[in-house]
Structure 1
Amino acid sequence: MALKFRNIAVIASVAFAIAVPALQMGLGLGLSAKDFAGQGDSTLRAAPYAFSIWSVIYLGLIAYAVWQALPRNRGDRALASIGWPSVIAIAGCGVWIIASSANWQWASVGIIFASAGALTWGLIRKAPRRRNLPENLLAWWPLALLAGWLTIASAINLLTVLTAQGLIAGESARIAGFGGVITVLLIAVSVLRAPCPAVYGVPIAWGLVAVWAAEQAPKPQLAVLAMVSAVIVGGYALWRGRQSAAQA
């Protein structure tokens, strides 16, 4: 079976998502992601080490691009159904880098929300309930990792832009920080119940721990909430994962 346009689009979106940040950093074009976030990260921030998860996500996306293009998988109905949502989300990662480097703040919010929404909804609706290990490892887990990271990154991105725009300040910043963490917790639990592949919860828990690490000194109460939320999300994801394995 020949490669379909959808298969090619997935490969192209992965190449684009990886190439854009490499070129942006290598050529020093516009604002770095750190500089962009630094304009308004006083409301809610994550420790810098959290972003190392992108190395795992990129490797997973490369594996997914290859897996879905293999002759035996080109006709897979589940992979076909998640194909275009994944293209939107993966390409959106590269477009977000362009928007943030140009300091298009509200565009960055729209892009990351669209990316997170498209992929998360696609996983909820289209991910098969019974999957073997190769399918999980090379397709569904990489996509779930990306969806989970985009979920928590969307909340931080929105609060960053609102703060940079002066729409959050003073006491409202404290309330917004708490609201952001609680919203991420509620979304994560809701999506995992849907159900979505349990790996979706891993980057969210990872990001919440990074929030705890960053906010311990300036906002200890917010840090505690982030850690409690991380434990809830991580524990629930583990339970859902064990439940799915038992049903397989």
Structure 2
Amino acid sequence: MNDSTAGRKIAVIAAVTFAIMVPALQALTGWGQTAAEFSNDGDQTLRAAGYAFSIWGVIYAGLALYAVFQALPGRAEPHLMASVGWPSAVAGLGCGLWIIASAADLDWATVVIILASTGAVTWGLIAARVRDLGLIGLSRYLVVWPLGLLAGWLTVASAVNILTVLTAQGAIDPAHPLAPALAGIGITTLIAAIVAERIKAPTYGLAVAWGLAAVGVAEWGPKPLVGAAGYAGAALVLMLTVWLAFRRKPFSPYGITDR
């Protein structure tokens, strides 16, 4: 194992540890405003039902398993880790930094951080060419799936975060939220469809559908059209995810499978 590989493995472990420990420490110390309090400052345009955030428990568990697995000698597929390793470290670091920025009420910092985190982990999965690797074992379940779940949730969270900040900053009039809310849902659904087809990780689409459905639940009462759009976006992404999962797998030019 060369120094670059060792450094990448250590960076992933450190970033995942940071991502998990920061919210835990905030909960224990009560420092700053919570993520819910941050969102309440500008959630008049678009919001997700509170239960949806329970997905973080699954995400953290998946990231912990991923961090351990990628550090084991000879386990994770080398080409896959060369593509997703550093981007996943950036995303993990960003998850922790977002908690700090939101606790300190640094609105625009949260936008920059969440977009950087989403872009990093998504780009890493796309660059890995997961569809061509033909992964069928642990590298799929302990690398691609946890990172796909994180990328999917961050895709939805980015849209909600941006609209929350724009509303809190007065760029969006809370009295006229319909157009920006529908635009946010539409753009999120379009991006999710494109990314889901590229990375072929079912957890990505499931996370996006989970988030959009939670938007539907939260908005159905106060803004029925926005709620319906959330449900429709969730249904479209879910159907695409199921279709991609059962579509015949392409021939792998690499002939690579897990050890």
**TM-score bracket, shorter-length normalisation:** over 0.9
CA RMSD of aligned residues (A): 1.6
Aligned equivalent of 1:243: 247
Q: CA deviation at 1:197?
A: 1.8
Aligned equivalent of 1:218: 222
The one of 91, 103, 114 equivalent to 1:101 is 103
Aligned equivalent of 1:36: 38
Question: Greater helix share, 1 or 2?
Answer: 1
Structure 2 length normalisation: TM-score? 0.91
Is 1:166 equivalent to 2:170 in the alignment?
yes
Deviations 1:118-145 (A, max 9, x none): 1111111114321113211111000000
Is 1:52 equivalent to 2:63 in the alignment?
no
> 1:7, 1:74 within 8 Å by CA — same for their partners in 2?
no
Aligned equivalent of 1:68: 70
> 2:79, 2:128 within 8 Å by CA — same for their partners in 1?
no
Separation (CA, whole Å) in 1 of partners of 2:246 and 2:10: 34
Q: Specify every segment of 5 or more residues in structure 1 that has no aligned partner in the other structure, as ranges.
A: none
Deviations 1:197-248 (A, max 9, x none): 2321111100011011111110011111110110000110111111265868
Separation (CA, whole Å) in 1 of partners of 2:77 and 2:143: 14
Which has the higher mean CA deviation after the structures are superposed, 42-51 or 236-245?
A: 236-245
Separation (CA, whole Å) in 1 of partners of 2:8 and 2:129: 17
Q: Specify every segment of 5 or more residues in structure 2 that has no aligned partner in the other structure, as ranges.
A: 253-259
- The 3 A distance-change label for structure 1 pair 195 and 139 is closer
Counterparts of 1:174-193 in structure 2 under 5 Å? 174-193=178-197
Is 1:18 equivalent to 2:6 in the alignment?
no
Q: CA deviation at 1:72?
A: 1.0
> 1:148, 1:204 within 8 Å by CA — same for their partners in 2?
yes
Which aligned runs of 4 or more in structure 1 are off by greater than 3 angstroms? 244-248
SS of the residue corresponding to residue 72 of structure 1 reads: coil
The count of aligned residue pairs is 248
The one of 88, 91, 99 equivalent to 1:89 is 91
SS of the residue corresponding to residue 177 of structure 2 reads: helix
- The 3 A distance-change label for structure 1 pair 74 and 178 is closer
Separation (CA, whole Å) in 1 of partners of 2:129 and 2:145: 10
> 2:130, 2:199 within 8 Å by CA — same for their partners in 1?
no
The one of 141, 149, 152 equivalent to 2:153 is 149
Which has the higher mean CA deviation after the structures are superposed, 166-175 or 115-124?
A: 166-175
Paired letter, 1:94: G
- The 3 A distance-change label for structure 1 pair 74 and 7 is farther
Separation (CA, whole Å) in 1 of partners of 2:248 and 2:68: 25
- The 3 A distance-change label for structure 1 pair 247 and 224 is farther
SS of the residue corresponding to residue 192 of structure 2 reads: helix
- The 3 A distance-change label for structure 1 pair 17 and 100 is same
> 1:46, 1:210 within 8 Å by CA — same for their partners in 2?
yes
Deviations 1:12-57 (A, max 9, x none): 0010000000001110000100000000001000000000000110
Structure 1 length normalisation: TM-score? 0.95
Separation (CA, whole Å) in 1 of partners of 2:138 and 2:199: 20
SS of the residue corresponding to residue 165 of structure 2 reads: helix
Give the percent of matched residue pairs that are identical in Structure 1 and Structure 2.
49
Separation (CA, whole Å) in 1 of partners of 2:198 and 2:64: 27
